[in-house]
Amino acid sequence: MAGFVPFTFTIQPMKAHPDSDFFYMVYEVVRLVPYGRVTSYGAIAQYLGVKGSSRMVGWAMNSSHRHHSPVPAHRVVNREGMLTGKNHFATPTMMQELLESEGIQVKKDCVVNFKKLFWDPNEALKM
DNA sequence: TAGCTGACGAAAA
DNA sequence: TTTTTCGCCAGCT
């Protein structure tokens, strides 16, 4: 947790974005994931009020590389902590390398201590 | 224009 | 407890 950077960022009300679409909101939440922490597709979907649409969060990540602003998609894993999206990075190992560069241990495509590193936007960003 | 796809997750069997 | 099925819905073809 040495690399943990406290953040005082407060998320704006979702509907405040003039061009607020679902993908944009997903990117906003992903950017709020603290350094050295991870979250899940389902948690993001739940925070956005579309609990059953976790697949759409994954789809948003798939399109995130086209977004002009950087999106730390490597911090988003499935509910078991598995790096299911690694094949969508430039190289299959890039996602793991990015996580390890933040001090997150990865074994067998799975985040070590996932429960401890899990960052829940529903708790951290609740208004 | 319409059908298909998908980096998930929860419920049912 | 484990496996299978189905809903979610925006973007792509």
The CATH number of the domain where A47 resides is what? 1.10.10.10
- Domain span at residue A102 reads 18-118
> Please, is A122 exposed, middle or buried when counting C-beta atoms within 10 Å of its C-beta (0-12, 13-18, 19+)?
exposed
pLDDT in tens, chain A (127 residues): 444 443 333 434 333 333 346 788 888 899 999 999 999 999 999 888 887 888 889 888 988 877 667 889 999 999 999 999 998 888 889 999 999 999 999 998 899 999 899 999 988 876 5
A72 CA vs C1 C1’ separation (Å): 35
Nearest protein residue to nucleotide B5 (CA to C1' distance) is A59
Residue A114 lies in a domain: yes
For residue A118, what is the DSSP state? B
pLDDT the model gives residue A21: 66
In degrees rounded to 5, what are phi and psi of residue A64? Answer: -65, -25
Residue A7 lies in a domain: no
How large is the greatest C-alpha to C-alpha distance in chain A, in angstroms? 41
Residue A69 lies in a domain: yes
Pick from A79, A45, A80: nearest CA to A61: A45
Residue A34 lies in a domain: yes
**b vs e for A74-84, b when ≥16 Cβ sit within 10 Å of the residue's Cβ?**
bbbbbeebbbe
Residues 64-123 on chain A lying near strand C, CB distance under 7 A: none
A19 CA vs B10 C1’ separation (Å): 31
A19 CA vs C3 C1’ separation (Å): 42
pLDDT the model gives residue A119: 92
Residue A9 lies in a domain: no
